[in-house]
Structure 1
Amino acid sequence: MSDDDVLALVTRVREACTAAGENDPLDEAAVLALEHRGLDGVRAWTPSSAGESTGGPTGEGFALRRDTELDLAVAPADRGAGVGAGLAAQALAEPGPLTAWSHGDHPAARALAERHGLARARELWVMRRPASEPLPPVEVPDGLTVRGFHAAPGPQADTDRDAVLAVNAAAFAHHPEQGSLDAHGFVERTAEPWWDPSGLILAHDEEGLAGFHWTKQHSPQLGEVYVVGIAPRAQGRGLGRLLTLAGLHHLHERGVGEVHLYVESDNHAAVHTYSRLGFTHAAADTHVQYRRA
């Protein structure tokens, strides 16, 4: 298949999964990489290629491997016939370190992981909060200013961007995905349809940017606590709760019916903060990363 054919197949499978009420099988980083760089640096397998090599079944599905990261998905209508097993056999044949996400903790993904020696390594929770629940007010202490990102392109916006990237790098220095955000990634995200400068909320003190809350509005009904980053020097002052509240007020003012967020299941401090603000987690809202050493 040509690159264009593979990309079209990936789109069809993603649409089939979400139409069936499932999570998108690709995370944001994978989607942005395909949008901006296509299949550059990606090895791709499709059911037709896997079937030709192994004599296995064919259908709608894909496996994409970039460095040590694997994404694999099969359209709901084509599951149960060995399509996923054939793709996994191809994509996992090469030994070495590898990670793969199951967006929804699917039993089939669990079985494939066990078969190929991938261990359950991380759990990412989705927590949700209905906008119908009232919010406490935002109380900004003396010495702190809270505002949106500078909307107009120019030196002020560049200063805001650089400050956000610096705080993000420090706050998420040990986070495998968020900590790698750079200027190029920032530009990619601000080119997305959901980008709203007023939804990137900044808190400044006398030393500069102390923290930020980047919100998303996916649709008129759904908002997201996208990233809350606090500078290490400003931690322990309640800024995480303050900025989360400011972002929730921003999203509620735009009429969303629900706000969700993603949080590592073992980040007990963050889970506690979000729970106190009315967020809850259901077992089905769990994403699992599998890892092969």
Structure 2
Amino acid sequence: MSGPIKDLSKLCIHTITTKPWSIEEAAEQYQKAGVKGISVWRNYLEGRNIVQTGEMLKNHGLKAVALVRGGFFPATTLGKRQLAITDNKKAVDEAAAVGAEMVVLVCGADPGQPLEVSRAQIQEGIEAVLPHAIENKVKLAIEPLHPMYADTRSAINTMAQANDMAEAINSDFVGVAADVYHLWWDPNLEAEIKRCGAHGNLLAFHICDWLSPTTDFLNDRGLMGEGCINIPLIRSWVEEAGFTGFNEVEIFSDRLWAGDQNEFLDKIVESYYHC
């Protein structure tokens, strides 16, 4: 098991984690706290000059790690699937403009059709967006989600499924985003992380914790160390697999959003040191 992290050089925070802050407020406060990376959710760019926003992040010493989120490819109608492809190309443009090297894909699902059909549509959607992503030098990171989200949020629910798809597409611009909240339960996780690393496909590592008991399966995530996920162990697996990127804190929490965000940020940094 890896020991405690001694610095913040690989700490990235998603803008959704400190949801009440604008991206300008987040950039200012992350810089003050010593955070070096920021993953930008698309809604934080609405109404802004995206290129100028990217420059603002750089001026605060922040690396734009990822744009979140693309995906949601499956649908029972061709028209909706085409709209999703168009929106994902727009997400690629936004990522390039803000200076992010990847778009995280929450791949989607449609409860009106079998999961196998949704998975095939996800692969077709990624392949349709891929030439535009390559042209803009933006990678596409498939994020497997916990099976409880298989109805509408994602038909990709394990690292094995994400690995299968990334390997089938076989592009340097397609890989996997591993989130401990969605994957910690998987008995094959260590082997699938190693497999992902062996193919050079591990693009992102997201961290938070699973509270027990949990009060909401979407918006009750915990700070690292508050729950039952062995984050240091999983982190050791991703590092052994060759991952050298940022540790991205992605927390959805009505409880934590309701509090003082500066105090919350202090707790993020403290828990990051320990986990």
Q: TM-score, normalised by structure 2?
A: 0.32
Which structure would you say has the larger Rg? Answer: 1
Tell me which of the two structures has the higher relative contact order, counting C-alpha pairs closer than 8 angstroms and 6 or more residues apart: 1
Q: Which has the higher helix share?
A: 2
Q: TM-score, normalised by structure 1?
A: 0.30
Q: Which has the higher strand share?
A: 1
